[in-house]
């Protein structure tokens, strides 16, 4: 099933993030999930959508995920450069999560959001480049995409589909029986 970019972003909001509530809230039950009771200054994991809602209303601070730290992002970028045939591990929704957090909770995430944005853009570009290079070297109808995030796969889908169609045509041509007819 193909998802739009908006759907991929929406799905990202279900992942859990840590918050530090500023006031108490009783537990609540919503469709498909119970939200825990919140106590001031006691770190709690909640879905990203709830963290953003509470943040907008001044009810919590969002704790930056460890992977979103400047030093961790630099390290991941170095790994991407060093390992041209492999993608570094990042969360499934790293692009969507980082965009949401930097757009709505930059003051909680870092004192240098511009540096984080630049590092994330560098990471995105090197990973796109590696994915395109890898697809250019395909010789079969199978693509290994370990450690690519959902949005990365979404953004590469059209490119990948075109390459896979061409490979399928090539495979079909190669598998056709050879004709005995030769030009004189």
More reliable by pLDDT, 175 or 135: 175
3.20.20.80, 3.40.109.10, 3.30.300.20, 3.40.5.50: CATH of 5-171: 3.40.5.50
Q: What is the mean pLDDT of the chain?
A: 83
Q: Tell me the domain boundaries of the chain.
A: 5-171
Check pLDDT > 80 for residue 122: yes
Task: Say what the pTM is.
Answer: 0.75
Mean per-residue pLDDT for 121-145? 74
pLDDT per residue as tens digits for the range 53-71: 999 999 999 999 999 999 9
At residue 30, the 3 state secondary structure works out as strand
Query: At a CB cut-off of 8 Å and minimum separation 6, what does 27 contact?
Result: 34, 35, 36, 37
pLDDT of 30 reads 81
Confidence of residue 132 (pLDDT cuts 50, 70, 90): confident
Check pLDDT > 60 for residue 139: no
Mean per-residue pLDDT for 12-21? 93
Handedness of CA 128, 148, 15, 113 (dihedral sign): negative
Polymer length in residues for the chain: 184
pLDDT of 69 reads 95
């Amino acid at each position: 099933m193909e998802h739009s970019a908006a759907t991929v972003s929406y799905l990202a909001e279900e992942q859990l993030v840590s918050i530090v509530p500023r006031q108490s809230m009783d537990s609540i039950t919503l469709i498909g999930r119970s939200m825990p009771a919140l106590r001031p200054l006691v770190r709690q994991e909640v879905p990203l959508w709830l963290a953003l809602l509470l943040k907008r209303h001044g009810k919590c601070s969002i704790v930056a995920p460890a992977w979103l730290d400047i030093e961790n992002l630099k390290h991941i970028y170095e790994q991407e450069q060093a390992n041209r045939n492999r993608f570094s591990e990042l969360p499934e929704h790293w692009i969507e999560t980082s965009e949401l957090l930097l757009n709505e909770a930059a003051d909680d995430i870092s004192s240098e959001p511009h540096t984080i944005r630049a590092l994330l853009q560098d990471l995105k570009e090197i990973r796109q480049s590696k994915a395109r290079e890898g697809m250019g070297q395909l010789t079969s109808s199978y693509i290994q995409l370990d450690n690519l995030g959902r949005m990365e796969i979404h953004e590469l889908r059209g490119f990948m589909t075109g390459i896979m169609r061409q490979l399928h045509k090539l495979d079909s041509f190669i598998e056709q029986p050879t004709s005995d007819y030769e030009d004189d």
